[in-house]
Amino acid sequence: MAAAAVSGAKRSLRAELKQRLRALSAEERLRQSRLLAQKVIAHSQYQKSQRISIFLSMQDEIETDEIIKDIFRRGKTCFVPRYRFQSNHMDMVRLASPEEIASLPKTSWNIHQPGEDEAREEALSTGGLDLIFMPGLGFDKQGNRLGRGRGYYDTFLRRCEQHQQAKPYTMALAFKEQICDQVPVDEHDVKVDEVLYEDTP
């Protein structure tokens, strides 16, 4: 598929998925989020991971609060994204506690994230990550991911490869409404190891 065709296909699929997500009720979002939190907590890959990166949810993403609380309950180390808005650069920085989230500044996307000038432990400079929870707009069962088009995660995963011996395990958290037959991809798109959703076998 030519590059222009891929970007066109991505654009129209993004629009369709945004519409599908807007149609989800708050109750349904919460129901699926709770169910996925249970799946994550029971997952062997999660249980054996010590250094974990997880996103702070936007309105149309699986709610990650319960997973974050569990990471701290188990004494694992929690990292969250800090996006640089003028670029596609993102760092994963250490979170001190679940309670801290509410006091973090909000970005233009209305997500909490640590301030850019604030000194925080950065995952790749202190030993890398075992597990990365991936957000996205759409996924297929083969692990192809449709992001929001800025390439933050694809770029970050390539940096992981340079900084750590073992590749981190990547797990997408998705509403079942985000599962597509086939996600259009190009050579910059990095597949995820596993897509977790309500009907995951």
Which residues are known binding-site members for ATP?
10-14, 145-153
Strands ordered across the beta sheet of 145-146:
145-146, 138-140, 179-180
**Do 180 and 143 touch, CB atoms closer than 8 A?**
no
User: What does 97-131 look like in DSSP terms, one character per residue?
Assistant: -GGGGGGSPB-TTS-B---TTS---BGGGTT--SE
Encode burial over 62-76: b for 16+ CB neighbours within 10 A, e otherwise. Answer: bbbebbbebbeeeeb
Question: Residue 113: which of 125, 103, 105 has the closest Cα?
Answer: 105
**Residues annotated as binding site for substrate?**
56, 61
Give φ, ψ of 195 to 5 degrees: -110, 120
HSE-CB for 48 with a 13 A CA cutoff? 4
**Do 54 and 67 touch, CB atoms closer than 8 A?**
yes
**Residues annotated as binding site?**
10-14, 56, 61, 145-153
For 25, counting Cβ atoms within 10 Å of its Cβ (0-12 exposed, 13-18 middle, 19+ buried), the class is exposed
Residues 184, 131: Cα–Cα separation, whole Å:
25
